[in-house]
Each structure stands twice: as C-alpha cells, then as structure tokens.
Amino acid sequence: MRLLIAGGTGFIGAALCRSLLADRHELFLLTRRPGGDAGGPRLLSWQTDEWRRALAEADGVINLAGESIAEAHWSPARKAAIRASRIETTRALVGAIGGHGRRPAVLINASAVGYYGPRGDEPIGEDDPGGSGFLSELCRDWEAEAQRAEPLGVRVVRLRIGVVLAAGGGALAKMVPPFRWCIGGPLGGGRQWMSWVHRDDVIGLIHWALARPDVSGALNATAPNPVTMRTFCSELGRALGRPSWAPVPGAALRLLLGEMADMLLTGQRALPEAALRAGYSFRHPTLRDALTACVPAR
C-alpha cells in the first residue's frame, strides 16, 4: 500500500515505519524536516503543497501526530499546544482528503484510553461513553475531527492507545531508573488500573486494521489483561530484580506535577473487545510476557 503518515518519527511512529517498510509498503512521511532518505520513507514538509499531492495518491493515512502529554506541566499554554498538535493536524488531513476526488480507503487516527476518564474498577469496552476532564475532552474532540472523513467515504479507525511499553522509550524510560536505584514503587495508592500495551501490538493492530476492510470505529489498543498500578510495579520490580517498596504519595505527585498527576493517579480498565471479537491475536497478552520482551535479561 501507499501510505501517508503523520507523526512517524516518535516512539510508536518510528518503529511502525520500520515495520511497514519491511512489509514493502511505500511511505510518505509528513515532517517538519524537508528532504528524503534513499530506501526509506519519502519525507514531505508540512510547509509545502507536496504532501497534498502525495495524499491524492495514498491508499491509506495513519495519523499519530501530537505533542507529548507527559513532558511538562499542563499550563494553559501547554494545554493549548497539546490540543492544537492533535486537533489542527487531524483537521488539516481530513480537509485535504475532502479536497481530492481520489481519496484514501482508510484513515487510522490515534486517540487514547484517556477518552473514558477515571472509571475505577469498571471494565470498559469501546461502546462505553467518554468521560470528562482535559484528556477526555481532548480525545473526544480529536476523534470527532477524524470522523469527519467518514462522510467522504473513508473508513476511519480510532485507535485508543493505552500505556505503551517497549525498550528504550515511552513509559518504561521514566519508570525503570527509580527501580534500578531500588527506590521504585507504585504511584498513589496503587489501586488505579493501568491499561498497558506492548508497542509490538500497537504496530500489529495498525497492520491488521489496514488489511481488514471490515474494521472501523473505535479500537482499544490495550492488552487483554490490564493490571493495577501496584501489580504493574511488582511485576516491573521482578523483571528488573529490584524491590517495589517505595510508593509515591498522591499528594506529593500532585504538588510536583499539578493537574497532570490526575492522569497517573486515576486510570481505566480498558479492554480490547472490538479487536478480540474481530480475531486479532495479541503478541504480548500478559504483562509478564511484555516486560520480559522489554527488559534485558539480568
């Protein structure tokens, strides 16, 4: 397939591009950097009309673009940047799709399990309603922009991604160092749920959704076995050969991170019901298996 990708240089996107190239897909990568790499994706600048011409030739679009949510305090300016990087990018892509007579067959658009808001112990599937708060409203508006492609005849998959695990980046890059220093432990009370997923399965779900014309709508990109924060930290400590004994009090985390702490102290027990119903087979269905794949052998 000929695919246009936004957000292809990040933690998920770079690995996805390598995987798609290995499967001999032709890639156009939207970037702030002009130019191109021989044998790799063709790099197209957002600042030119070249990407719009490439879109007219694309069979599919994958949109993973967005400022990191966890890199800094959620000041009003930071919130505005997080929203704009998702909403405006998606709006531009869908607007450009509508401007062409030939349109891609599919748009796979990132979202997040934050869509559901804090839900306690309640198991959540794709048919459950969204919540409230900054992340929930962001995901709702982000998905709404993607859904504007549906009346144009484009199949839209809204990928609600959980906490992504893989070596060398993502959540583990922030969580592993305290454990290696023997000061690791759960955040807050540890009873909040973590809907985690190995990066291999995020990539696998994208490949699978590209190839399945019957798959559309919301898709929870989460492993089928979510765990509590306490269990997650216990398993991470086991994988690293380190104790998990030093919880971070919720009050201290809120003092340190402000509103962003709520993202870590509350959670969702999101289940990939749509993917399982449609026959997707997870490569890393359990946390122990996923961490074994992420953490080098001791």
pLDDT in tens, 42-97: 899 888 889 999 999 999 999 999 988 877 778 889 899 999 999 999 999 999 99
* Nearest in space to 201 (alpha carbons), one of 283, 274, 269: 283
Residue 246 lies in a domain: no
DSSP H or E run through 41: none
| Nearest residue to 13 via CA among 39, 43, 36, 35 | 43
3-state secondary structure of 161: strand
How far out from the chain centre does Cα 176 lie? 20
* Sequence-separated (6 or more) residues with CB below 8 Å from residue 181: none
Domain that holds residue 208: 2-165+195-224+270-282
- Of 176-190, 241-255, 281-295, the range with the lowest mean pLDDT is 241-255
- Residue 243 resides in a domain: no
107 falls within a domain: yes
Does residue 236 belong to any structural domain of this protein? no
Using the predicted structure, report yes or no on whether residue 111 has a pLDDT greater than 70: yes
Is 33 a residue whose pLDDT tops 70?
no
What distance in Å separates the CA atoms of residue 86 and residue 106, rounded to the nearest whole number? Answer: 18
Q: What is the pLDDT of residue 68?
A: 85
Please answer whether residues 236 and 175 qualify as being in contact, where contact means their C-beta atoms are separated by less than 8 angstroms. Answer: yes
As for how many domains the chain has, the answer is 1
The whole-model pTM stands at 0.94
Check residue 38 and give its pLDDT: 44
**103 or 49, greater pLDDT:** 103
| pLDDT at residue 253 tops 70 | no
Mean of pLDDT over the chain? 90
Coil, strand or helix at 2? strand
With 90 as the cut, is the pLDDT of residue 256 above it?
no
Place of tokens 């122990």: 288
Per-residue pLDDT tens for 123-170? 999 999 999 999 999 999 999 999 999 999 999 999 999 999 999 888
Per cent of the chain over pLDDT 90 is 67
Decide if 176 is inside a domain: no
Structure tokens given for 70: 């966890």
> pLDDT value at position 169?
85
Q: Name the DSSP class of 132.
A: -
The conformation of residue 297, written as its DSSP 8-state character, comes to P
**Residue 178, both tokens:** 């305290």
Choice between 24 and 173, residue whose per-residue pLDDT is larger: 24
CA distance 135 to 274: 22
Q: Which amino acid is at 66?
A: G
Would you tell me the crossing angle of helices 170-180 and 229-240 to the nearest 10 degrees? 70
pLDDT for res 130:
94
Q: Compute the distance between CA of residue 255 and CA of residue 233 in angstroms, rounded to an integer.
A: 22
Predicted pLDDT at 180: 85
257: pLDDT strictly greater than 70: no
Which residue do the tokens 């991170």 mark? 257
Answer yes or no: is 158 within a domain. Answer: yes
Structure tokens at 129: 């309603």
User: Is residue 289 domain-resident?
Assistant: no
pLDDT for the residue 193: 94
By CB atoms closer than 10 A (0-12, 13-18, 19+), residue 219 is buried
**pLDDT class for 251, splitting at 50, 70, 90?**
confident
Residue 261 within any structural domain of the chain = no
**Residue 161, domain CATH:** 3.40.50.720
Gap between the Cα atoms of 16 and 199, Å rounded? 9
